[in-house]
Chains A and B, each alone.
Chain A
Amino acid sequence: MAQPTTLITRGLGSPVQMLRRARQLRLPWLPIGIMSALLICAIFAPLLAPHDPREINLLDSRIAPGDSWTYPLGTDIMGRDILSRLIYGAQTTAKISLLALAVGMVIGTVLGLVSGYEGGALDAVIMRLVDAALGFPTILAALIVVVVLGTGIEAIILAMVITVWARFARMVRGDVIAVRDQDFVIQAKITGVSTPKILWRHIFPNTVNTLMVVSSLMVGQVILLEAGLSFLGMGLEPGAPAWGVMVADGKAVITNMWWLSLFPGLSITIVVLALNFFGDWLRDTLDPKLRRSG
Chain B
Amino acid sequence: MQRYIIVRTFQAIVTLWILSVVVFGSVHLTGDPAAYMIGPETTDEAYEQLKKNLGLDKPLPVQYWNFLKDIVRGDFGTSTYLGRSAREVLIERFPATLQLAGAAFLLSMLIGIPLGILSAVKRDSAFDSIGKLLAVVGLAAPPFWIAIMLILLFGAILGWLPTYGRGGISHFILPTFVLTWAGMAGYVRLARSSMLEVLDSEYVRFARVKGVSEQLVIWKHALRNALVPMLTFAGLTLAGLLNGSVAVEVVFAWPGLGRLMLQGITSRDFPIIQATVLAASFFYIATSLIVDILYAYVNPRVRYD
Contact = CB atoms under 8 A, between A and B. Distances in A.
Most buried by A among B145, B235, B266: B145
A292 B258 CA distance: 32
Interface residues of A, number: 41
A250 B151 CA distance: 12
Interface stretch (A102-110, A140-148, A174-182): A140-148
A231 B236 CA distance: 23
Interface in B260-286: 261-262, 265-266, 270, 273, 277, 280-281, 284
Interface in A28-55: none
Interface stretch (B23-31, B48-56, B115-123, B219-227): B23-31
B165 to A, nearest CB: 15
Contact of A265 (B148, B193, B250): B148
Contacts of A247: 142, 144-145, 148
Contacts of A248: 144
A254 B151 contact: yes
A269 interface: yes
Contacts of B27: 147
Most buried by B among A143, A258, A262, A276: A143
Contacts of B156: 254-255
B142 A231 contact: yes
Nearest to A1: B200
A138 B239 CA distance: 8
Interface stretch (B65-73, B205-213, B240-248): B240-248
B137 interface: yes
A232 B148 contact: no
A251 B144 CA distance: 10
A15 to B, nearest CB: 35
B136 A232 contact: no
Interface string B144-166: 11001101100110000000000
A288 interface: no
Given A140-B277, A224-B142, A265-B141, A254 B265 contact: no
Contacts, number: 118
B247 A232 contact: yes
A224 B240 CA distance: 12
B11 A265 contact: no
A83 to B, nearest CB: 18
Given A132-B15, A247-B144, A255-B152, A138 B243 contact: yes
Contacts of A137: 238-240, 242-243, 280, 284
Interface string B127-143: 00000000011011111
Interface of A: 128, 132, 135-140, 143-144, 146-148, 150, 220, 224, 227-228, 231-234, 244, 247-248, 250-251, 254-255, 258, 261-262, 264-265, 268-269, 272-273, 276, 291-292
Interface of B: 11, 15, 18, 22-23, 25-27, 29-30, 136-137, 139-145, 148-149, 151-152, 155-156, 193-194, 197, 235-236, 238-240, 242-243, 246-247, 250-251, 258, 261-262, 265-266, 270, 273, 277, 280-281, 284, 288
